[in-house]
Structure formats: C-alpha cells, structure tokens
Amino acid sequence: MAVRQWPQADYEEVTCCRCGISGQLLFTQRRFGIVQCPQCHLVFTSPRLKKEAIRNIYEASSYFDEGVYGFSKQINLGMLLQRAWTRGRLDLIRGLVKGDPHTKKMLEIGCAYGLFLQAARHQGFEVAGVEYSNTAVQWSAEHLGLPVQQGELKDAQLPSQRFDVICFWDVLEHVDNPVAFLKLVHQYLVPGGIVVFSTPYVNSLPARLLHSRWWTLRPEQHLWHFTPHTLGLLFADAGMHLEQVIADPLAPANIGRLDSLVGVVRVVACHAG
C-alpha cells in the first residue's frame, strides 16, 4: 500500500507546548520530524500536519472502522481487544470511584463510536462524550442514543459542567496543545474527581528498538510522544498529579499493549497557607 503524501503547504513547524522552544531532531519519517525539547525532554512531531489536513484524516469513516478503537461490523481481533480494554478499564475506574456508579457522572473525550460510553452507561454511570469526527458522533447518536458533542472540548456545550470521571483513550497524543487541553480537563472535574487515560509512550521497548519504524509512531496523527516523566510534568502544569501508571501488557486495563500505558490522575490538593 502506498504511503500517503501531503503537499508542503499542509505542514507546519511547532515548538514545545511547555517551554515554547524548538526541539532537537531525533530522526525523521518521510517529511515529519521527531524532535525533543532540550529543556523538558518532551518529544513531539515538527514539522507536523496543519489542523485542516488532520481533520480530513479523522472525518474519513475508515479512520475508525479500520482501527481497534472504532466500530466494526465484523468481530475481529481489534474489536475483541477493544472489549477487553473496556472491561479492564471500567473495573479500574469502579475501584477508584467511591460510592454508587449511578450517582457518578463520566465524560469521555474522543469517544469514537461510543462503545466505551455505552458499557459505562450499562454499569450505571451518567455519561456524556465529546468527539471530533462528525461521522462517529452521528453513528453513536443514531445507534446508541448517546449524548455526544461534536468538536473539541473547548467548544463543547456539555449537559454537566463537572464530572466525577473524565476519560480519554489514545487522545492526548492527538491534541494541538496538551497543556491547554489538560488545564481545561481540570476545570471539568468535581473536587476529588479522577482522570483515567491511555497513550503510547516513546520510551517503550518497541519504540526504542524501532525508532522511525515503530508501528505506533504515526506522525501524521500523533503530534506528541510521551514518557511517564513528561506526562507527569504535563499533568503537574495543569494542577494534577499522575498517581499511577500501568504499562504491563498483562494488566486487564492495558491487555496486549506493548507500547502504551494507562494512567490515573487526581487533582492536586490545595492547602491554605
């Protein structure tokens, strides 16, 4: 299969979202540069695709239908893994959330066709979602009756302004600016609320061995490439604490994932001076 190419005008140079400085080149993949901030060591893609070019990728129905996180009319390995992750992650969340799930509100950002939200609703959570792809939003509304807003979190008109649980599975690496995104996530949490997320990590064994051949690199979509350390810095910038990292591919919440992790985050408690 031929690798898609974009015109030069679709690319842009960016700086570190934390430090505002250009990264030092680690390696290239096609026209994409994988660079590292010399100050905080966050790895990111620069040059990367501009927002309009990326939007066209997400709007294609094949983006979800051919992936493990999307809807598929056929039972396949990807869907079986997705269902296993859903079970493991909901078990993790129930263990973290105090009280009856029927009294808890959950927001999923980047909810695709809503399969995780549907499972959470069946377990008693009051759910809402935000999804960038209009194709996915329409499907989740028509087939599952889920309350999903189309667009980015900053533009959403949510039924509840505060949530007990906010989830985003393989989303953080896609956002324009993780610092701004996480600060907004913080604003939507109730006191004592939690964030549970997943993301690939660039110091995983496959990533370190394969470099530009790493199958999860995907620089046309993945704009940021994290380590547990840089994730901790980003959440701290947003007033939150990365409390737990699950990278074990045998853990139910992360089953079969050799190069991704699941994180649990809480708001940093404020103490009176």
Selected residue with higher pLDDT from 72 and 182: 182
Class of domain 22-267: alpha beta
Looking at residue 3, its pLDDT comes to 63
Looking at residue 74, its pLDDT comes to 55
Mean pLDDT of 165-193: 96
Mean pLDDT of 123-147: 92
pTM equals 0.91
Residue 61 — very low, low, confident or very high, per pLDDT cuts 50/70/90? low
* Residue 1 reports pLDDT greater than 60: no
Looking at residue 60, its pLDDT comes to 61
Q: Where are the domains of the chain?
A: 22-267
CB distance 119 to 93 below 8 Å: no
Mean pLDDT of 166-192: 96
Looking at residue 120, its pLDDT comes to 97
For the ranges 28-32, 64-68, 113-117, 244-248, which has the lowest average pLDDT? 64-68
131-168 burial: b if 16+ Cβ within 10 Å, else e: bbbebbbebbeeeeebbbbbebbeebebeeeebbbbbb
Tell me the pLDDT of the chain averaged across its residues: 90
* Residue 84 reports pLDDT greater than 70: yes
CB distance 84 to 77 below 8 Å: no
Looking at residue 56, its pLDDT comes to 80
Looking at residue 129, its pLDDT comes to 95
Distance of CA 140 to the CA centre of its chain: 19
Token digits of residue 242 = 């990365």
Selected residue with higher pLDDT from 57 and 176: 176
Distance CA 261, CA 221 (A): 18
* Residue 78 reports pLDDT greater than 90: no
Mean pLDDT of 69-74: 48
